[in-house]
Structure formats: structure tokens, C-alpha cells
Amino acid sequence: MKRYLLSMLAAALLMAAPAMADLVAVGEPVEGDSWCQAFQESGVGTFDLVAVQMYSADDAFLSPTHRSFNRGSWATRGEDGPPVTAAWADGPGTTNMTWSICFDETSSEPLTFDFVAFGGETLLESARAAWSGSGWDIRVGHSDPWQPTRAEVEAIPAPGAIVLGLIGLGAIGMWARKRLV
């Protein structure tokens, strides 16, 4: 009977324990003209893509957004230029990674962004991270987080690609105009 009660108590404690699948802020923000914060992702299983999307209006990430990966072969994709409102990075599958996310304003300004982690095509984690100007409130499984598919994340256009696309369209328009005149 004692063994049964102890087993039930242990099972209840395990079920009540907080989930280890978290995006966690690590250390203090690093200040400059803008600022960066180190984050750690672990406990969700093997992931190979992370992405962020700014939720608060008039805020942006500094480009490149994702930096200082402790996994050398991870890299931000498609960013080279002005601040962005969404960004992603990928690399070989890992179960634990620390890196920095950089913001295009001072750390005294509050902001909110959504975060996702993928393992292949599977969305492993979705969280909302709110910076108050002095601390983080990160809510995994928030009631209204960004929950894209991997294809939607990988389709986030690079700021440079948008500019090049507009230049290309302008050049085609000028060429067509000259041909018609």
C-alpha cells in the first residue's frame, strides 16, 4: 500500500512540474546604439529552425537579428540591410542552443515579439516574449502566439530581396516603356 501511495505521489509531482520546453533569456542585455539579449532554447526535442516576428507596433529587430550562435553552423537567412520585423535562422538539428537576438531601439523601450522553433516541418514551440524595459515575461504556448508553418517562415522575404525585386521591376518597366514609345 505504501509503495502504491508513493508511486501515485511521484506521478502527481511529475505532472505538476513545469515543462522544460522553454525559450529563456540568459544574462543581462548587451547595450549599444541598439541592444541584444542572449536566449537559450532547449527541452523541445531536436530543432533546426528558429524564427521571430515583432508583435508590438513601431518596433523592429536589428539586422542581422540572430547572432552569436553557440552552434557554429547556424546562420540567419536572407538578412542584410535595414531593421526587419521578422527573421529566421537555421542549421543542423540540435536540442540546446544559445544565441542573441538584437533589437533596433534602446533597452528602455518595451517591446513584444513572437518566437517559434521547428524540427523539420513540425512546430515544436511557440512563445510570446515581452520586454518591459527592465525584464522579460516569456510565455510558452501563449493563447495568441504566431503559429506559422515552416514554409511560411522560410518565405519571409529578405529586405535586400525586396529592394532588388523593386529595382528589377522598375528596370523592366523602363525597358517596356522605351519599347512602346
State the pTM of this model. Answer: 0.75
Rounded-to-integer distance, Cα 144 and Cα 163, Å: 32
Determine how many CB atoms are found less than 10 A away from the CB of residue 3: 7
User: pLDDT at position 144, please?
Assistant: 77
Percent of the chain with pLDDT over 90: 59
User: pLDDT at position 65, please?
Assistant: 94
User: pLDDT at position 60, please?
Assistant: 95
Assigned C-alpha cell, 92: 543542423
The answer regarding whether domain 22-155 maps to CATH 2.60.40 reads yes
Rounded-to-integer distance, Cα 44 and Cα 67, Å: 21
Q: Are strands 35-54 and 61-67 parallel, antiparallel or unpaired?
A: unpaired
Buried b (16+ CB within 10 A) or exposed e, 107-140: beeebebbbbbbbeeebbbbbbbbbeeeeeebeb
User: pLDDT at position 29, please?
Assistant: 93
pLDDT tens, per residue, the chain with 181 residues: 444 333 433 333 333 333 445 899 999 999 987 999 999 999 999 999 999 999 999 999 999 999 999 988 999 987 877 899 999 999 999 999 999 999 998 999 999 999 999 999 999 999 999 999 999 999 987 777 788 999 999 988 754 443 333 334 444 444 444 545 5
Question: In three state form, how does the secondary structure of 53-86 look?
Answer: EECCCCCCEEEEEEECCCCCCCEECCCCCCCECE
